[in-house]
C-alpha cells in the first residue's frame, strides 16, 4: 500500500489470477487505485522498492539543487516556482521543497527513509544489480542522520542539510522576494525597437528559433557552420552570412545559440568572430546553456571592448517543437538596458519569460539547477526501470504505477516511454547532459557545494557517451544499466507473424450460427440502432438505411418499418468530447421519444467506432447511459476482418502484410486527437477512462470460450456479469464474431441489456448479414454519365497517403489532381481561404466536364495543434473547406468517392445535403457504396465511402479502376466479348475530328463498343495528331472504344504504326503471293506481340476502291480455306476474309457473298482461336449482315457510307460558318454509324 499523488490510497497487488479475482472486490473497496500484476508473485513489494529508490534519489537531488542555486545567488523560492513548472520537476521536489524552505519538516523521517533504501540496496546486491544513485543517496541520508544532535530527532530537515552541504538555505529563503514574470512584463513593455537580428547557431533548436523570428516579422541574418542549413534558412525567408563577423552587420540584437562554451568563445572571438565586427551599442543574447561563471566573464570582456556592447544571459528550455512555435521558457538576466534592448526578441521566442535578478549569470544559474534535476531524474529513471526489469516486473505496468506514485517526475513520465519503446531518436542527445552536468559539478566545486548525486549522474552519462551512445536520445543512459546487467527495459508487445498466431488458436466453432441468428432475431423484437461516428461503419452491410439526421419524426419512421437495423450517422469523431457527448444525449433522447411514439419499440444501441480504437470513449458511452439508464454491460469489440484487426489474448492487433502489429505501436495510436499507448484492451479501457475503470476489473471473453463453448457459453458468460461491467471480446475470424453475436442475442432474450462499442464486423454479425458480390457501375444508371468522377480525400493516416500516391501513379493519364493547402484554409485569413476554395472549384468543374476523374485532396503535410482540441479544430476547418469546394461544384459527377471518416460524413451531409441513404453494398471489402436519397444535390449518384485505414496501398486505385467508364479499350477484348455475345463490332474509318466525335457520340448513345480506324491514306494527311485525337477520344469515352490501323501494306507503315500507341493493326499482304504474304504477316505479328498489340491480316483480295487504293475485279480473289489454315499459324488474332465482299460500292445487281465459304472459314477459325473480319460492310443488307454474324463475323469495316454522308452534308445547304459545317457533318455521320451499331447487334453491349 502507498498513497497516490492526491493523498488517496493505492494498492499494488500480485499473485495468481484466480486469487486476485477473488480478492479484487475487497482490495477495490479499500483503496482508490488498484494495480494488479497477474501471476507475478511478490510484484507489489518489488514495485514499492522501485518507487522508494526514486523517492530517495529525488529527495537528495532536490536538496542539492536548492543548495547550489542558493549559493549561486538565486532566491530559493524563485527556483522553486520556476522549476516546479519545468522539466526539472518531480513529485518530491514539488511537495517537499516548500516544507524544507519553510523549515516545516523534521529530520526524523531520514531514519525510516535510510532504512528503506538499505533494504532496496541489499536486494540489488543479492541479484546482483548496480544501483549507484541509490547507494550515494543512502550515504547522504546517513550523513544527514549523523548531524542530528544526540537523540534529538526533531531537528529540522533544513538545518540538517545546511550542516551536510554547508549552505545557508533558510537564510537565502528568507530574502526579499520578487516575481520574475512581472519583471519580464515590465521589461517587454519598455522594450526598444529592433530593426535587424543576427542569429548564430542554426541547429535543431536554433533553426526553429530563428525561423520563428522570421514569422514574427523580424529581419534575421543567420550563420551556421553547416552549409545545407544556411540554404534551408534562406529558403525559409532568412538572410544568410558566411561568417560570424558577416552576420553582425547592422544588427541591433545578436542571438547566439551554440552547443557549449567553446563554440560560444569561437564565434565571438575566433577567426572572423562576431565581436570584431558587431556595431556599437548592439546587444548580445547568449541563449546557450553555459556556466554562470562563463557568462559573468563574457560580460566583462564585452564591456572592455569600448563599444557599449550589452549582454543578456538567456538560456532556454522547451525542446525543438516549442522553439519553432515561439513557446520556449527563457530565464533572462542582465542590466535593465540590455534586457530592454532585447525584450522584443525574447518575448517573440517565449511562452514563459522570467527575468532573474542578480545580473548576468543569474539566468544560467536557474537553468543550471533545472538541468541538475532533469539530468538526475533521467538517470534515476533509468536506474529504477532497469532495476524493475531485473526484478522481473512488467516494465510497462511498472511505468504506469510509478507515474501515479511519489517516485514520478516530469522526466520519468517523458523519457521512460522512450526506454519502453526502445526508441532513442535524439530529441535531446545524451551528450548534452555530459556537458550540462559537467557545468553543474564544476560550479559545485567552485562554490564549495558537495554534489554527490549530481556527480554520479554525470558519471553515468559519461559512461554512456564513452560507449558510443552520445548522439542518441538522453534516455539512452539506460543502456549503461542494460549492458552491465544483461537486461532489457523495453516493454513493447512483440510484432507477431500473423499466420503463426492464427494457427496457434483452437479450431473454430464447427457450426455456422448465421441461421440461428436469423431465427433468434425473429423472436427478438429489438432493432439494432447503430450510432456511427463516421460513415465507414456501413462497410460490412448491404440493403440497410442510413439517416444523417435524427429528428424524432425520422427515427419514428424507421421504427415503423421494423427493420433489423438502421444507422444514424453522427460524425461525432470530428467533434470535441463535450460536443460529442451532448450529441449522443440528444440522439438517445430522440430515440426514447420515437420509441414511445410507435408503441415502445425495443432497440439495442451500438456505438460503432474505429477498429483502431480512435474516438470518444468513454464519453459517448457515458452520455448514452445517462439517458438510457445503466446497462448490464458495456461490450468492447473492435475486431474487423476486412481491415485486418484482430483481438487475441486481450491484445488488439493491426495486420501489416503478414505481420500483426499491436495497435498501440501503429500510426493510429499516435493520432493527434485520439492517441493512446495500450494495445491490451483491458489496459486501453483503463487508459481511456483515466483509471476510473481499472484494467483488472474489465472482463474478457477469450477466443477459447468462443471456439470451444459456442453461443451457449457466451450467453452464460454474459448473464453472469455484474451489472455495469465492461467486457471485451476477443475474435480472430468472422465465425468468432457470429458465435458471440448468437450468444449475445440469447442473453438479450433472457432480459440482459448491453451497450456496445464496436467496429463494423459486429454489426453485420448481429443481424446475420450474408456478403454479396462487389458493387460495380453497372448496378447504377450512372455508368451512362459523361462527366468525370469526383474523388475527395481528407484522411491523413499514412496508409491513405500511400494509396493516393498509388492512385496518381496508376491513373496519371486520366486523373487530374487538385491539392488544397491546409495552411491556407486552416491557418490563414478568410480572404486567402476563400481564394483557395474558389481556385479548386473552378478547376474541378473544368476537369469534371471534360470527363476526367478529379481528385481533390488536402495537402499531405499533417499540421496539428498544440492540444488535441486544437488539432480537432484544424481538422474541422480542413473538412469544412473540402465541403465548401464540393458544394460549389456545379457539374454532376459520374460518382463520388470520399476518403476518410470525417471527410465522407461532411461531404454527404453538408456538401451533398443527403438526409438519408441506402447502403447498396461494398465496392471493395470494407468500402461501402451508398445510393443518395432524392433530397440530396445529386439523387441516385453512387457515393463510395472509403475509410482512411482500409486496404493495401493499391486499394484506392483498384476501386477507381473498377469504377472507370471503360474496363479497357483492347480491340481483341472487344472482339472476344462479341464472340461470346454473338454480335459484331463496327470499325469506322475516320479522317478528322468530326468523324472521331461522330463515332464516339453514337457509341455512347447506344452504349456500344466501337473501333476507330485510321487508313494509311488518312494517316498520310492527318499524321500523328489524327492518331492522338483517336487515342484521346477512346480514353475519355464512356464506352469501350479501341483504335485500329487499317490496311498496312508496307513494312515501313506498320513499323511506324506500332510505335503510335494503337490497340491493333491490320497487316495487308493481300497484294503479295501467298508465300510472301505469309512471311510478311508473320514478321509483323511477332513485333506486334512484343508490344501487346492485336494483329488482323487479310487472305484473299477484295476488289474496289478505298482511300485512293483500287483493286480491279480481275485482281480480286476469294480466301482459300486450305491456305487459311496455314495462314492462321502466323499467330494472327483476326483474319479479314474475302467471300465476295468489296471495298466501296457494290454493283447494281447487289452483293453476292459466298456464305458457304464463310461457314467453312468460321469452323476453321473457331478451332484456331482466330476472329473473322469482313471489310466492305457498306451496302450490305440487314439480312446478309445477320447471316455473316451467325457465321462468325465479329468485326465489320464501314467506310463508304460514312464518307458519303459527310460529303453530302458538306455540299448541301448554304452554311457559311465553319462551326455549323462541323455540326452538320458530324450529325450526318453519326446517324449512319448509329444505324450500323444497331444492325451489328452491339447496341447495349458496352
The residue to which cell 474516438 is assigned = 615
**Residue 351 half-sphere exposure, CB side, CA atoms within 13 Å?**
15
**Distance (Å, whole) CA 757 – CA 529:** 12
What number is the average pLDDT over the span 480-501? Answer: 89
Estimate to the nearest angstrom the gap between the alpha carbon of 443 and the chain centroid. Answer: 48
pLDDT tens readout for residues 333-385: 999 999 999 999 999 999 999 999 999 999 999 999 999 999 999 999 999 99
CA distances from 1059 to 13, 988, 996, 1084, 1205 (A): 77, 21, 21, 13, 32
Give the pLDDT confidence score for residue 778 in this predicted structure.
80
Q: Which residues contact 578 (CB under 8 A, 6 or more apart)?
A: none
pLDDT above 80 for 691: no
pLDDT above 50 for 62: yes
Estimate to the nearest angstrom the gap between the alpha carbon of 114 and the chain centroid. Answer: 51
Q: 3-state DSSP call for residue 1245? A: coil
pLDDT tens readout for residues 214-244: 999 999 999 999 999 999 999 999 999 999 9
* 1111: confidence class by pLDDT, cuts 50, 70, 90: very low
Give the pLDDT confidence score for residue 782 in this predicted structure.
53
Give the pLDDT confidence score for residue 42 in this predicted structure.
82
* 120: confidence class by pLDDT, cuts 50, 70, 90: very high
Q: At what angle do helices 430-446 and 362-390 cross, to 10 degrees?
A: 120
pLDDT above 80 for 843: yes
pLDDT tens readout for residues 859-868: 867 667 677 6
- Indicate the range of 57-66, 127-136, 411-420 predicted with least confidence: 411-420
Nearest to 836 by CA among 880, 803, 870: 880
367 catalytic residue (yes or no): yes
What number is the average pLDDT over the span 132-138? Answer: 97
DSSP assignment letter at 364: H
**Distance (Å, whole) CA 397 – CA 508:** 33
Query: Which has the higher per-residue pLDDT, 420 or 269?
Result: 269
What number is the average pLDDT over the span 576-586? Answer: 94
pLDDT above 70: percentage of residues in the chain? 94
pLDDT tens readout for residues 755-773: 999 999 999 999 999 888 8
pLDDT above 90 for 885: yes
Q: Which residues contact 17 (CB under 8 A, 6 or more apart)?
A: 38, 39
**Distance (Å, whole) CA 56 – CA 51:** 9
CB-neighbour burial class of residue 398 (10 A; exposed 0-12, middle 13-18, buried 19+): buried
pLDDT tens readout for residues 241-274: 999 999 998 999 999 999 999 999 999 999 999 9
What number is the average pLDDT over the span 406-430? Answer: 87
What number is the average pLDDT over the span 1121-1141? Answer: 91
What number is the average pLDDT over the span 952-970? Answer: 81
pLDDT tens readout for residues 426-471: 878 999 999 999 999 999 999 999 999 999 999 999 999 999 999 9
What number is the average pLDDT over the span 800-809? Answer: 90
Q: How many C-beta atoms surround the C-beta of residue 434 within 10 A?
A: 22
Residues 651/679, Cβ–Cβ less than 8 Å? yes
**Distance (Å, whole) CA 1142 – CA 1148:** 13
* 150: confidence class by pLDDT, cuts 50, 70, 90: low
C-alpha torsion sign, points 598, 600, 602, 604 = positive
Peptide bond into 128 cis (omega under 30): yes
* 670: confidence class by pLDDT, cuts 50, 70, 90: confident
What number is the average pLDDT over the span 882-896? Answer: 93
- Taking the chain, what is the end-to-end CA distance rounded to the nearest angstrom? 77
Residues 739/710, Cβ–Cβ less than 8 Å? yes
Nearest to 299 by CA among 282, 285, 311: 311
Give the pLDDT confidence score for residue 969 in this predicted structure.
66
Q: What is the mean pLDDT of the chain?
A: 90
CA distances from 240 to 211, 227, 245, 278, 1169 (A): 12, 10, 12, 16, 72
CA distances from 1102 to 100, 380, 1030, 1117, 1179 (A): 112, 96, 26, 7, 15
Give the pLDDT confidence score for residue 1191 in this predicted structure.
93
- Which grid coordinates belong to 1144? 466501296
**Distance (Å, whole) CA 354 – CA 180:** 5
Residues 872/763, Cβ–Cβ less than 8 Å? no
Peptide bond into 202 cis (omega under 30): no
What number is the average pLDDT over the span 19-48? Answer: 75
In residues, how long is the chain? 1246
Give the pLDDT confidence score for residue 1105 in this predicted structure.
46
What 3 state SS string does 717-759 have?
A: HHHCCCCCEEEEECECCHHHHHHHHHHHHHHHHCCCCEEEEEC
- Which grid coordinates belong to 176? 526579499
Q: 3-state DSSP call for residue 386? A: helix
**Residue 145 half-sphere exposure, CB side, CA atoms within 13 Å?**
14
Q: How many C-beta atoms surround the C-beta of residue 1019 within 10 A?
A: 21
pLDDT above 60 for 966: no
Residues 389/484, Cβ–Cβ less than 8 Å? no
DSSP assignment letter at 36: E
The secondary element (H helix, E strand) that includes residue 82 is: helix 76-83
* 1108: confidence class by pLDDT, cuts 50, 70, 90: very low
Give the pLDDT confidence score for residue 862 in this predicted structure.
67
What number is the average pLDDT over the span 1103-1112? Answer: 47
**Distance (Å, whole) CA 423 – CA 631:** 42
Q: How many C-beta atoms surround the C-beta of residue 180 within 10 A?
A: 23
**Residue 356 half-sphere exposure, CB side, CA atoms within 13 Å?**
32
Nearest to 1025 by CA among 990, 1064, 974, 1050: 990
**Distance (Å, whole) CA 594 – CA 553:** 7
Q: Which residues contact 841 (CB under 8 A, 6 or more apart)?
A: 885, 888, 889
Query: Which has the higher per-residue pLDDT, 133 or 520?
Result: 133
- List 530's β-bridge partners, or say none: 567, 606
pLDDT tens readout for residues 596-646: 999 999 999 999 988 889 999 999 999 999 999 999 999 999 999 988 999
Residues 1026/1019, Cβ–Cβ less than 8 Å? yes
Percentage helix, strand, coil, to 5, in the chain? 50, 15, 30
**Distance (Å, whole) CA 866 – CA 378:** 25
- Which grid coordinates belong to 432? 548534452
**Distance (Å, whole) CA 117 – CA 724:** 43
Active-site hit among 310, 367, 397, 1245: 367
**What does the DSSP assignment read for 412-459?**
HHHHHHHHHHT----SSBHHHHHHHHHHHHHHHHHTT---HHHHHHHH
pLDDT above 70 for 967: no
Residues 219/195, Cβ–Cβ less than 8 Å? yes
CA distances from 805 to 118, 613, 729, 939, 1033 (A): 61, 26, 36, 31, 26
**Distance (Å, whole) CA 63 – CA 451:** 10
Give the pLDDT confidence score for residue 12 in this predicted structure.
80
* 7: confidence class by pLDDT, cuts 50, 70, 90: low
Give the pLDDT confidence score for residue 246 in this predicted structure.
96
Q: Which residues contact 876 (CB under 8 A, 6 or more apart)?
A: 574, 902
Amino acid at each position: 500500500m502507498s498513497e497516490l499523488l492526491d493523498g488517496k490510497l493505492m494498492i499494488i497487488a500480485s499473485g495468481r489470477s484466480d486469487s486476485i479475482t477473488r480478492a479484487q472486490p475487497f482490495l477495490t473497496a479499500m483503496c482508490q487505485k488498484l494495480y494488479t500484476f497477474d501471476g507475478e508473485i511478490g510484484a507489489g513489494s518489488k514495485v514499492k522498492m522501485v518507487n522508494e529508490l526514486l523517492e530517495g534519489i529525488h529527495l537528495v537531488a532536490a536538496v542539492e539543487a536548492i543548495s547550489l542555486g542558493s549559493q549561486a545567488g538565486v532566491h530559493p523560492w524563485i527556483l522553486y516556482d520556476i522549476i516546479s513548472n519545468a522539466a526539472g520537476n518531480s513529485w518530491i521536489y514539488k511537495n517537499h521543497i516548500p516544507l524544507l524552505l519553510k523549515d516545516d519538516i523534521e529530520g526524523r523521517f531520514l531514519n525510516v527513509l535510510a532504512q528503506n533504501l538499505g533494504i532496496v540496496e541489499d536486494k540489488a546486491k543479492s541479484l546482483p544489480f548496480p544501483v549507484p544513485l541509490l547507494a550515494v543517496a543512502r550515504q547522504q541520508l546517513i550523513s544527514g542522520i549523523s548531524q542530528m544532535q544526540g537523540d534529538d530527532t526533531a531537528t529540522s530537515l533544513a538545518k540538517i542539510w545546511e550542516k551536510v552541504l554547508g549552505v545557508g538555505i533558510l537564510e537565502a529563503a528568507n530574502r526579499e522576494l520578487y516575481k520574475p514574470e512581472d519583471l519580464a512584463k515590465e521589461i517587454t513593455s519598455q522594450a526598444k525597437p529592433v530593426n535587424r537580428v543576427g542569429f548564430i547557431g542554426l541547429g535543431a533548436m536554433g533553426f526553429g528559433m530563428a525561423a520563428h523570428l522570421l514569422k514574427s516579422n523580424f529581419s534575421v541574418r543567420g550563420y551556421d557552420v553547416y552549409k545545407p542549413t544556411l540554404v534551408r534558412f534562406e529558403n525559409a525567408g532568412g538572410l544568410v552570412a558566411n561568417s560570424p563577423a558577416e552576420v553582425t552587420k547592422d544588427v541591433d540584437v545578436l542571438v547566439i545559440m551554440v552547443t557549449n562554451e567553446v563554440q560560444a568563445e569561437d564565434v565571438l572571438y575566433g577567426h572572423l568572430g562576431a565581436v570584431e565586427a558587431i556595431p556599437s551599442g548592439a546587444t548580445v543574447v547568449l541563449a546557450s546553456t553555459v556556466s554562470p561563471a562563463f557568462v559573468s566573464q563574457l560580460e566583462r570582456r564585452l564591456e572592455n571592448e569600448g563599444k557599449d556592447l550589452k549582454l543578456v544571459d538567456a538560456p532556454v528550455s522547451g525542446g525543438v517543437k516549442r522553439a519553432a512555435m515561439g513557446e520556449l521558457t527563457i530565464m533572462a538576466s542582465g542590466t535593465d538596458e540590455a534586457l530592454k534592448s532585447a525584450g522584443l526578441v525574447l518575448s517573440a521566442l517565449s511562452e514563459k519569460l522570467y527575468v532573474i535578478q542578480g545580473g548576468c549569470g543569474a539566468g544560467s544559474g536557474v537553468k543550471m539547477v533545472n538541468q541538475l534535476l532533469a539530468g538526475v531524474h533521467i538517470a534515476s529513471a533509468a536506474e529504477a526501470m532497469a532495476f524493475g526489469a531485473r526484478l522481473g516486473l512488467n516494465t510497462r505496468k511498472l511505468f504506469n504505477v510509478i507515474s501515479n506514485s511519489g517516485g514520478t517526475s516530469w522526466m520519468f513520465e517523458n523519457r521512460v516511454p522512450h526506454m519502453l519503446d526502445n526508441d532513442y531518436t535524439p530529441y535531446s542527445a545524451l551528450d548534452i547532459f555530459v556537458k550540462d552536468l559537467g557545468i553543474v559539478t564544476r560550479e559545485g566545486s567552485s562554490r564549495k557545494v558537495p554534489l554527490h548525486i549530481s556527480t554520479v549522474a554525470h558519471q553515468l552519462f559519461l559512461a554512456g557517451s564513452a560507449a558510443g551512445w552520445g548522439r542518441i536520445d538522453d534516455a539512452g543512459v539506460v543502456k549503461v544499466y542494460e549492458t552491465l546487467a544483461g537486461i532489457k527495459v523495453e516493454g513493447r508487445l512483440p510484432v507477431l507473424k500473423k499466420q503463426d498466431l492464427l494457427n496457434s488458436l483452437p479450431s473454430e466453432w464447427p457450426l455456422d450460427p448465421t441461421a440461428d441468428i436469423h431465427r433468434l432475431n425473429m423472436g427478438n423484437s429489438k432493432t439494432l440502432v447503430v450510432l456511427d461516428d463516421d460513415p465507414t461503419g456501413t462497410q460490412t452491410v448491404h440493403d440497410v438505411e442510413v439517416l444523417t439526421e435524427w429528428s424524432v419524426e425520422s427515427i419514428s419512421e424507421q421504427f415503423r418499418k421494423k427493420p433489423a437495423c438502421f444507422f444514424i450517422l453522427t460524425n461525432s469523431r470530428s467533434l470535441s468530447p463535450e460536443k460529442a457527448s451532448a450529441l449522443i444525449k440528444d440522439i438517445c433522447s430522440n430515440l426514447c421519444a420515437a420509441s414511445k411514439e410507435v408503441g415502445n419499440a425495443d432497440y439495442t444501441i451500438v456505438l460503432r467506432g474505429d477498429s483502431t480504437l480512435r474516438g470518444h470513449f468513454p464519453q459517448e458511452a457515458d452520455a448514452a447511459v445517462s439517458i438510457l439508464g445503466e446497462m448490464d454491460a458495456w461490450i468492447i469489440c473492435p475486431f474487423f476482418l476486412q481491415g485486418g484487426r484482430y483481438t487475441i489474448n486481450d491484445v488488439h492487433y493491426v495486420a501489416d502484410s503478414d505481420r500483426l502489429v499491436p495497435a498501440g505501436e501503429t500510426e493510429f495510436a499516435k493520432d493527434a486527437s485520439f492517441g493512446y499507448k495500450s494495445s491490451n484492451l483491458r489496459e486501453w479501457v483503463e487508459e481511456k477512462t483515466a483509471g476510473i475503470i481499472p484494467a483488472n476489473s474489465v472482463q474478457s471473453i477469450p477466443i477459447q470460450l468462443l471456439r470451444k463453448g459456442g453461443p451457449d457459453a457466451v450467453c452464460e458468460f454474459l448473464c453472469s456479469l455484474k451489472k455495469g461491467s465492461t467486457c471485451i471480446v476477443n475474435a480472430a475470424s468472422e465465425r468468432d464474431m457470429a458465435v458471440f453475436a448468437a450468444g449475445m442475442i440469447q442473453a438479450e432474450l433472457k432480459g440482459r441489456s448491453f451497450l456496445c462499442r464496436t467496429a463494423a464486423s459486429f454489426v453485420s454479425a448481429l443481424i446475420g448479414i450474408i456478403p454479396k458480390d462487389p458493387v460495380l457501375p453497372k448496378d447504377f444508371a450512372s455508368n451512362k454519365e459523361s462527366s468525370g468522377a469526383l474523388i475527395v480525400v481528407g484522411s491523413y493516416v499514412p496508409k491513405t497517403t500511400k494509396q493516393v500516391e498509388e492512385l496518381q501513379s496508376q491513373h496519371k493519364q486520366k486523373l487530374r489532381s487538385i491539392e488544397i493547402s491546409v495552411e491556407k484554409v486552416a491557418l490563414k485569413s478568410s480572404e486567402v481561404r476563400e481564394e483557395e476554395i474558389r481556385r479548386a472549384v473552378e478547376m474541378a468543374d473544368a476537369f469534371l466536364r471534360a470527363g476526367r476523374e478529379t481528385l481533390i485532396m488536402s495537402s499531405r503535410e499533417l499540421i496539428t495543434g498544440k492540444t488535441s482540441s486544437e488539432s480537432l479544430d484544424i481538422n474541422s476547418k480542413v473538412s469544412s473547406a473540402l465541403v465548401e469546394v464540393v458544394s460549389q461544384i456545379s457539374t454532376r459527377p459520374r460518382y463520388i468517392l470520399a476518403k476518410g471518416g470525417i471527410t465522407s460524413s461532411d461531404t454527404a451531409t453538408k456538401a451533398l445535403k443527403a438526409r438519408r441513404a441506402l447502403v447498396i453494398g461494398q465496392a471493395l471489402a470494407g468500402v461501402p457504396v451508398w445510393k443518395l436519397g432524392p433530397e440530396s444535390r445529386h439523387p441516385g449518384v453512387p457515393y463510395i465511402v472509403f475509410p482512411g485505414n482500409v486496404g493495401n496501398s493499391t486499394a484506392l486505385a483498384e476501386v477507381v479502376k473498377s469504377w472507370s467508364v471503360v474496363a479497357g479499350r483492347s480491340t481483341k477484348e472487344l472482339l472476344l466479348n462479341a464472340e461470346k455475345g454473338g454480335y459484331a463490332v463496327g470499325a469506322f474509318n475516320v479522317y478528322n475530328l468530326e468523324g472521331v466525335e461522330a463515332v464516339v457520340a453514337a457509341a455512347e448513345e447506344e452504349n456500344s463498343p466501337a473501333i476507330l480506324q485510321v487508313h494509311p491514306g488518312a494517316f498520310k494527311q492527318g499524321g500523328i495528331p489524327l492518331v492522338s485525337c483517336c487515342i484521346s477520344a477512346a480514353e475519355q469515352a464512356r464506352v469501350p472504344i479501341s483504335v485500329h490501323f487499317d490496311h498496312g501494306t508496307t513494312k515501313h507503315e506498320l513499323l511506324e504504326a506500332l510505335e503510335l500507341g494503337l490497340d491493333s493493326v491490320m497487316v495487308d499482304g493481300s497484294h503479295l503471293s501467298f508465300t510472301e504474304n505469309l512471311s510478311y504477316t508473320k514478321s509483323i505479328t511477332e513485333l506486334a506481340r512484343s508490344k501487346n498489340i492485336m494483329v488482323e491480316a487479310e487472305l484473299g483480295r477484295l476488289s474496289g476502291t478505298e482511300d485512293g487504293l483500287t483493286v480491279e475485279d480481275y485482281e480480286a480473289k476469294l480466301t482459300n480455306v486450305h491456305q487459311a489454315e496455314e495462314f492462321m499459324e502466323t499467330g494472327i488474332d483476326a483474319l479479314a476474309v474475302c467471300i465476295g465482299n468489296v471495298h466501296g460500292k457494290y454493283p447494281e445487281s447487289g452483293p453476292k457473298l459466298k456464305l458457304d465459304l464463310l461457314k467453312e472459314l468460321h469452323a476453321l477459325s473457331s478451332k484456331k482461336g482466330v476472329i473473322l473480319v469482313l471489310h466492305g460492310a457498306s451496302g450490305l443488307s440487314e439480312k446478309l449482315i445477320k447471316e455473316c454474324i451467325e457465321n462468325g463475323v465479329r468485326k465489320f469495316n464501314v467506310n463508304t457510307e460514312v464518307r458519303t454522308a459527310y460529303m453530302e452534308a458538306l455540299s448541301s445547304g448554304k452554311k457559311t460558318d465553319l462551326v455549323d459545317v462541323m455540326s452538320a457533318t458530324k450529325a450526318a455521320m453519326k446517324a449512319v454509324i448509329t444505324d450500323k451499331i444497331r444492325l451489328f447487334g452491339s447496341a447495349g453491349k458496352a
